[in-house]
Amino acid sequence: MRPAIKVGLSTASVYPLRAEAAFEYAARLGYDGVELMVWAESVSQDVAAVKKLSRRYRVPVLSVHAPCLLISQRVWGANPIPKLDRSVRAAEQLGAQTVVVHPPFRWQRRYAEGFSEQVAELEASSEVMVAVENMFPFRADRLFGAGQSLERMRRRGGGPGPGISAFAPSYDPLDGNHAHYTLDLSHTATAGTDSLDMAQRMGDGLVHLHLCDGNGLPADEHLVPGRGTQPTAEMCQMLAGSHFAGHVILEVSTSSARSASEREAMLAESLQFARTHLLR
């Protein structure tokens, strides 16, 4: 019998609360672990502090998200090359299986030129998988209102229309020919990408899923799964029916929650959705 797929909670899912809140929610609601988003919060950058939280709440760290967002460009220094190395070392120290990283930004030329080789070398020297995540273009229709953007996308048959990629070689990680990938369902919504097709193209290289949702707006939404237009249930069922041995991480935005109880309800709903559709 194939083992159950572990379901984790991203520490980004409790923003603007701190990482400790994610461990607390994960423990209380019954998540299998957390994904550590390394960003401006000092605790997220401190492996020893994260270990203490993991022990205190008895919640393991399943994965580490490298500090590769625009808002985390100065976290762990400005050079992205040693930052990726450090992310893998952090994952090793925390007992995490995976490091999630975005494709390089186009202006990070030296990093971009050696990115594929660096990822391969890190994986060759560690048991940690470096799973490169799908992203999305900067869409021209961000200049329009949300309703107009959705209507324009519908008329185009789901495509994002004119846009600029900030990533090298592109926002599609398959263009980098890596061994392992992270699939994010909010990013596929914004990119107008067929997520089920992308999962098939990733094949056995798909080792990590960011379970969330989106309606196709030009901005990244990270909705609770089932609240958008992505085939979230079908994706989970496809993974459950396969030999997928990675993790599924709820990376949802709860910043709109007006109370602690509303945030908890969103995180509980997300977990229940995952458990229901990932059942083996």
Three-class SS of the chain: CCCCCEEEEEHHHHCCCCHHHHHHHHHHHCCCEEEEECCCCHHHHCHHHHHHHHHHHCCCEEEEECCCCHHHCCCCCCCHHHHHHHHHHHHHHHCCCEEEECCCECCCHHHHHHHHHHHHHHHHCCCCEEEEECCCCEEHHHHCCHHHHHHHHHHCCCCCCCEECCECCCCCHHHHCCCCEEEEHHHHHHHCCCHHHHHHHHHHHEEEEEECECCCCCCCCCECCCCCCCCHHHHHHHHHCCCCCCEEEECCCCCCCCCHHHHHHHHHHHHHHHHHHCCC
What's the rounded mean pLDDT across residues 186-202?
97
What's the rounded mean pLDDT across residues 182-206?
98
Provide the pLDDT confidence category of residue 164 given band limits of 50, 70 and 90: confident
Range 135-146 burial, b when 16+ CB lie within 10 A, else e: bbbebebeeeee
Does the structure show a pLDDT above 60 at 150?
no
Check residue 140 and give its pLDDT.
Answer: 72
Q: How far apart, in whole angstroms, are the C-alpha atoms of residue 215 and residue 44?
A: 30
Provide the pLDDT confidence category of residue 161 given band limits of 50, 70 and 90: low
Domains in the chain, CATH or no CATH each: 6-277 (3.20.20.150)
pLDDT digits (tens, 9 = 90+) for 56-109: 999 999 999 999 999 999 999 999 999 999 999 999 999 999 999 999 999 999
Does the structure show a pLDDT above 60 at 249?
yes
The percent of residues above 70 in pLDDT, for the chain, comes to 92
Does the structure show a pLDDT above 70 at 149?
no
Q: In this structure, are residues 276 and 232 in contact, taking their beta carbons and an 8 Å threshold?
A: no
